[in-house]
A and B are shown apart, each in its own frame.
Chain A
Amino acid sequence: MFMSFACVYIPDFLVQAVVRGQPSLGKSALAVISGTPPLWSVVAANPAAFAAGIQLGMTKAQVAQFGDVVGARDTRARSTVQICMRSESQEKAAHAALLDAAWSVSPRVEDTAPDTIVLDLEGLASLFGSNENIARELTRCVAAIGLAARIAVAANIEVAIHAARGFPGVTIIPAGQERQRLSVLPVGVLATETETLDILERWGIATLQALALLPTLQLSERLGQEGVRLSELARGTKQRALVLAQASSTFTEEMELDDAVEELEPLSFLLGRLLDQLCARLEARAFAVRAVRVRFELQPSFEKDFQTLQEDLRKKPEMKQYEKLLTLPVPMRNAKTLLKLLRLQLQGDPPSAPIQKIYMTADAAGPRVTQNGLFVPIGPDPEKLEITIARLAKLVGEGNLGCAELLDSHRPESFRMVRFNVAKEKNKRRAKSAMKSNNNSETRATVTALRVTRPPQAVRVEMNSEQPGRVYLQGIRGEVVAASGPWRGSGDWWQEDSWHQDEWDLEIEFVPVGAQHRCAPSRQNAALIDSPQLQSASGNNCERIDKKTEHSSSQRGLYRIYYDVLQQGWFLRGEYD
């Protein structure tokens, strides 16, 4: 049984990497230029551009002029030739995506070159079937990440590489036919130095067949060890081991923009494209997203440039960075959901300047199991819930949303808000405890609830024989019917925010407005109502007056007030409801 290797080769890799980032460019003739300005030259072009007459090495100005000349003869060609800058970030992302696609088929992958990878197909027959099926699956996976590939399968790694570089489409080379099949390929497919290729050209060696016929000894005398290697490659007898690449669990996509983006709508279009690419890569590796980190390079503002120039004319202004981290409670892979969450985050806190470059990194995790138990209550869909929480956070603020977690302290209001997450493990424990508690639920008593006033309202209290006898709440007089207290609590005296309070439970009967005479109406009540605490406690004057009226109409109620020893004042904690 022979071993099998498949080689995936991406022709015109520079062009395809650019087109992957901007799919609309793939429909027209495209020339990719590179270099330092003003010496820009064409480094790659797609077949349509070559057909129009574009050649490698042309300067940008030549391409532009050429476009005009072509345009004079053929107006359609003029309008379709496009010039695009080479993007190393997009090439890097395309190469990473290619590796991910390969890993989705075989775990043993060699990272041969940016445009070439080799897979070990051993053991895949039981999964995919014949080599043709494996090649078809590879083609599908590579197409899913937005690249068009040439694929060759052979028993020899080097044969597979040269066949993929030389033959279009899918090529299957049976064992023993390597030399025969490679014979028609030009020597240009060999990965060697340009000088060597020039020597071969001067000798009149154009194909691998001609190279294979040359005697190895004489070739070695003239070209050295390189000649021997080339001869073995041409015969298809060169053997070597596969150098395995290490898979990473971090996925990164980058995009550099020609024109800075300022508004959210076009930005979300770009983010959506990057997320689509990321999710396709994650899907290829059977992963989901646990967290997405988006980093923007912002365009420096004019004022900043001016200041920098004043300080140091030669110093280049630093690019400002803006970063957003989207942490997900459950791993997900839905690009639309992720885009909605990112949009909501950016709407709440937009970048301060136009965006020049986008980096998007996804931390991968295993996909979540969606199967629940038959008897587990159906909860909110995690993806939908996350979007709802993001919308609610935008509405009420990030800190006003979540679930309360009690702190190990006797201080009143000792809790903190934590992120709401329906944890699976807790569910199981909860379900077990629920089974136990359901049995005695009939005997469970209703607890008297306390409605808290935030922040605590200042009240005036008149003491009568060592207990509160009369309470003035927002100017309304209330007679204390019964009292319990004081319940003294103090703590954190070793810190700056120490607390020391005497709490009272009071049953207060408020006197209706018409029946009562207000205590010190001119000064004390006015001062109380106009105090900043009350202003912040109540939304507006109208509501305050309304609430006051309601208190006046209520006959009797249970309240919790406290005397703050440190602030030397009485406050209303809340009411029992």
Chain B
Amino acid sequence: MRNLQRIGLGEQKANTRSILVPRRSPQTTMAATSLAALRSKIEADLRGRVASPFAYRDRNTFDLVSTGIPKMDALVGGLPRGAMTEICGAPCSGRTSFLLSALASRTKDGEVCALVDARDSFDPPTANSAEVALDKLLWVRCQNIDQALRAMDLLIQAGGFGMVAVDLSDVPTRTVRQVPLNAWFRFRRAVEDTPTILLLLEQEPNAKTCASLVVRLEAGNARWQEASPPVAQALLSTLRNEGPVPPEIAPRFSRELRGHPFARLLRGSAVRGDVMRSRIQIPEQRVVNIREGSRPKMAVPHKTDRESFETETILRSR
């Protein structure tokens, strides 16, 4: 009895499948020809609203611009336009130095940039020493992440910015983690097909697959330099609230200072960067042969022998 029921069910499924799956018939060729007509009709209907709706579009091909750090440019190709880039790392790992370098690079090319500062920690004098054109930088000083995300949304929607950088470095990771993933998707979608670089600075990556490039930075050793005797003398006399060192005792004073723990200058620090994720593909040939009508061949995701780079930052404020 059960077998009969199974057989009956099988027959029913077979009949259903035969209804759903169209059989090959002479009309198939007719459908193929009408497909072209349908395609041309859709293209005609969407003319003016959607440019070439059936054209192949690779979403992993970006226009890349320099980060201002040659070693990173050599590794990842640069910062992708129309995509989200995440720079993450612990405090003092060089994220802000990277940001200033990227801003300097963009503003030097005459582009207008925006910086959404979630905790109001941007230092304009340092940015000026990093050659950031401050008159081309719109600085939005926020007090919390809510303001920062809203400001970022407004700036992306406004359009026309070469780079929109969002500094969430000082926002606690637990708070950034609470931003829903669909918000990041929305930001990625908003920045897509625009010439804007969306740069996020965080302690850890949060946008997941919405980010086209994720780089983690780590702090290396700080570079200290022995201060020259006049500088060291000036520092020590400042500390002791003394006047200038008399010239007759200056040589002896210099000998005393040699090896003194504070008779040194901070010159900068080393930074190590690891590429955690990169969806950037660089076309093999930039020039497309229009007559042949072929689309550019895509290379495999840009790979190098090493996935990390090392660079150094220089302190210019002293």
Residues of chain A whose beta carbon lies under 8 Å from any beta carbon of chain B? 376-381, 384-385, 387-389, 391-392, 395-396, 400-406, 414-415, 417, 420, 422-423, 426-427, 430-431, 433-434, 437-438, 441-442, 444-454, 465-467, 482-488, 502, 505, 507, 539, 542-543, 546-547, 550-551, 553-554, 556-559, 574-577
Contact = CB atoms under 8 A, between A and B. Distances in A.
A451 B96 contact: yes
A450 B154 contact: no
Interface in B184-220: 195, 203, 219
Contacts of A449: 96-97, 99-100, 123, 126-127, 130, 313
B262 A484 contact: yes
Contacts of B239: 466-467, 485-486, 502
Contacts of A466: 236, 239-240, 262
B228 interface: no
Contact of B124 (A404, A547, A556): A404
A152 B66 CA distance: 67
Contacts of A392: 140, 151, 154-155
A306 to B, nearest CB: 42
Contacts of B140: 392, 396, 400-401
B91 A415 contact: no
B91 A557 contact: yes
A376 B315 contact: no
Contacts of B219: 556-557
10 contacts: A404-B124, A404-B134, A405-B134, A441-B108, A444-B68, A448-B313, A449-B127, A451-B122, A486-B238, A487-B235
B112 A422 contact: yes
A491 to B, nearest CB: 15
A447 B68 CA distance: 11
Contacts of B134: 403-406
A395 B91 contact: no
Interface stretch (B23-31, B172-180, B290-298): B172-180
Contact of B95 (A380, A487, A574, A577): A577
A500 B81 CA distance: 46
Contact of A441 (B66, B173, B240): B66
Contacts of A388: 154-155, 157-158
B58 interface: no
A262 B100 CA distance: 48
Nearest to A544: B172
Contacts of B147: 395-396
Interface string B119-154: 011111111111101111111111110010011001
Contacts of A437: 108, 131
B138 A554 contact: no
B211 to A, nearest CB: 20
A546 B99 CA distance: 24
Contacts of A401: 138-141
A442 B240 CA distance: 44
Contacts of B105: 441
Contacts of B127: 404, 449
Given A396-B151, A577-B95, A484 B121 contact: no
B258 to A, nearest CB: 15
A452 B261 contact: no
Which of A388, A389, A452, A576 has the most chain B CB atoms closer than 10 A to its own CB? A576
A507 B270 CA distance: 13
B112 A447 contact: no
Given A379-B111, A406-B128, A406-B134, A576 B92 contact: yes
A396 B68 contact: no
Interface stretch (B3-11, B43-51, B159-167, B299-307): B159-167
A544 to B, nearest CB: 9
A503 B240 CA distance: 14
B284 to A, nearest CB: 24
B262 A446 contact: no
A337 to B, nearest CB: 13
A448 B91 CA distance: 13
A422 to B, nearest CB: 6
Given A422-B136, A448-B316, A485 B262 contact: yes
A450 B238 CA distance: 24
Contacts of B150: 395
B68 A446 contact: yes
Interface in B58-88: 66, 68-70
Which of A376, A392, A553 has the most chain B CB atoms closer than 10 A to its own CB? A392
Contacts of B143: 396, 539
Given A430-B136, A434-B108, A447 B91 contact: no
Given A400-B141, A575-B92, A381 B124 contact: no
Given A539-B143, A575-B91, A450 B317 contact: yes
Given A396-B141, A400-B140, A484-B266, A438 B125 contact: no
Given A437-B108, A449-B100, 8 more contacts: A396-B147, A438-B108, A448-B316, A449-B96, A465-B261, A505-B266, A546-B175, A557-B92
Nearest to A438: B108
Main DSSP-derived SS at the B contact region: mixed
Contacts of B123: 449-452, 574
B160 A450 contact: no
Contacts, number: 251
B102 to A, nearest CB: 10
Contact of A384 (B120, B122, B160, B238): B160
Interface of B: 66, 68-70, 90-101, 104-105, 107-112, 120-131, 133-144, 147, 150-151, 154-155, 157-162, 169-170, 172-175, 195, 203, 219, 222, 224, 227, 235-236, 238-240, 261-262, 264-266, 268-269, 271, 311-318
Contacts of A433: 108
Contacts of A505: 266, 315, 318
A449 B239 CA distance: 26
B172 A427 contact: no
Contacts of B129: 447
B121 A574 contact: yes
B222 A558 contact: yes
A273 to B, nearest CB: 27
B91 A403 contact: no
B314 A445 contact: yes
A434 B170 contact: no
A446 B97 contact: yes
B266 to A, nearest CB: 4
Contacts of A415: 124-125
B125 A414 contact: yes
Given A415-B125, A577-B91, A546 B172 contact: yes
Nearest to B237: A488
Which of A377, A389, A450 has the most chain B CB atoms closer than 10 A to its own CB? A450
Contacts of A575: 91-92
Contact of A484 (B157, B174, B264, B314): B264
Nearest to A506: B266
Given A385-B158, A467-B262, A447 B172 contact: no
Contact of B172 (A380, A414, A444, A543): A543
A379 B112 contact: yes
A402 B139 contact: yes
Nearest 3 CB-CB pairings of A with B: A380-B160, A557-B92, A449-B96
B68 A441 contact: yes
A450 B139 contact: no
B290 to A, nearest CB: 22
Contacts of B97: 446-449, 577
A271 B94 CA distance: 50
A551 to B, nearest CB: 7
A543 B44 CA distance: 56
A505 B265 CA distance: 8
Contacts of A551: 91
